[in-house]
Structure formats: C-alpha cells, structure tokens
Structure 1
C-alpha cells in the first residue's frame, strides 16, 4: 500500500481521540476496503500508558468480527505518540506481525504519519479527501 485515504472528519475524530486520552496513548482500528478508511473503531489502551499501547485480545477479536459482519477489513491500526509521529522500536516489532497501515498522531506536533512494514518500515502517504 502506497497511500491511505481519510476524510477531514476522520482526521479530526482521531486527533480528538488522541487528545482526550492524554496523558496516555490512544488506539483504534481503521476499518474499510483497500486503502480507504470508512469507519474508525476506538479501542481502550489496555496498557494505560503514555509510552505504549495494547488492545485486549477479546477486543481484537470483536473488531475483526465487526469488520467481517460489515464486509470490511481492518486496514489500519491507529495510535498516538507524545512525541514525533514515527514508529517506536516496539511499534516496529508489532508491525511485522500486523501487516496493515499504522497511522500515528503526534500529540506534541499535531500531525499524522502512516507506515507499513513489508521488508522494512516505510512511510505511506496520508491523503485527506472529502466525504
């Protein structure tokens, strides 16, 4: 995947989720088809941490079931960082086993960046579209 498409409303929703989760990292699944996000599914950060996030296995299964029932896929994982919007070493390890787009929002720089892992971590273009 070279790019991911979100609406300005979805961008605002994710930024709001990140800000409301402070001082902890926020997280969500991004549902859709191909490279187009159609639904955001906020998740609870089980770590309750400012430097990491995890999602309980039961919530992960529910998210996949919901996506399947709506004939969508989980095409991305969103989370926030209290620093620059770049994958941490922990993120990189989890990106290898979760080969979807990882969208990161910086709560200090107020900007988004997206990444995917194929043979290495590479940036994906975030495109903002009208609904």
Structure 2
C-alpha cells in the first residue's frame, strides 16, 4: 500500500500539468510505504513517451535519504496522452525492487488520474493508494 499526503499528490499532478506535453518524473521517499518527501527529477529525454532521470540528481537524493534513514518509496512519472497504467517500456525498465510506481495520466487534463503499481520481474500488480491529510 502506498500512503501519500494529499499535498504531495497535488504537487505531482500540478507538476505533470506544468510539464505537459512532456513526461515529468521524480522520486518519493519515506518509510514503510508512507511518503514523506517529494523529489522532482529532470527528464533527460524531454519526451512525451518516456523518461530518464538525471543520474546526478538521483545520486543526490539517495545520499539525502541515507542521511535521513528513509527509503525510496516510489518512482513517479506522467503519461501525457495515455492511461495511468505501466507501458511496456515502464515494465521493462522497472528494475528497482520493492518500489511503487505512481503514474499520473493526463488523457483528460481536466480530471487527471493517479494510480500506483508494484512491478516485479515484469509482473504488474495494481496497488492500493491511500491519500492522507
């Protein structure tokens, strides 16, 4: 289960809208599935179909998380023109075990949809996402 504060989910959706028509991406940090931190990343691909996080930014986040004793809880990205479900590429590149994958769909820009998934060895499972105050 992914537990995410409403203000962080709203920030991710706003960032997705601002980045449209390109995909945006980032890391969510915390403990035991509870999101405590939001770390926006640069999409090095500047694409509307895929993303690659900036390695320098990723390294800085990993160092910060080690210092705080937090984990990488989720990787998020937007789908500007497709549903909130992992693409074949998302599945193929999901190499970080035990991390949730939060996808924001902007197919209907007036009503964005956010969903969370676990992806293990190419197997996708929808994950419950609880929005907290």
Q: TM-score, normalised by structure 2?
A: 0.91
Partner residue in 2 for 1:126: 129
Secondary structure at 1:78 match in 2:
strand
Partner residue in 2 for 1:80: 78
Partner residue in 2 for 1:4: 2
Measured against aligned partners, the alpha-carbon deviations of 1:10-37 in whole angstroms (never above 9, x if no partner) come to 1110001101111110001000001100
Measured against aligned partners, the alpha-carbon deviations of 1:60-85 in whole angstroms (never above 9, x if no partner) come to 21111111112111111000002100
Q: CA deviation at 1:56?
A: 2.2
Partner residue in 2 for 1:25: 23
Q: CA deviation at 1:115?
A: 0.7
Partner residue in 1 for 2:53: 55
Taking the aligned partners of 1:39 and 1:27, their CA distance within structure 2 comes to 14
Q: TM-score, normalised by structure 1?
A: 0.92
Q: CA deviation at 1:118?
A: 2.7
Q: Which runs of 5+ in 1 are unaligned?
A: none
Partner residue in 2 for 1:45: 43
Secondary structure at 1:11 match in 2:
helix
Partner residue in 2 for 1:107: 106
Taking the aligned partners of 1:10 and 1:63, their CA distance within structure 2 comes to 17
Taking the aligned partners of 1:10 and 1:57, their CA distance within structure 2 comes to 23
Taking the aligned partners of 1:54 and 1:127, their CA distance within structure 2 comes to 27
Partner residue in 1 for 2:91: 92
Number of residue pairs matched by the alignment? 127
What is the aligned-residue RMSD (CA, Å)? 1.0
Q: CA deviation at 1:58?
A: 1.9
Q: Which runs of 5+ in 2 are unaligned?
A: none
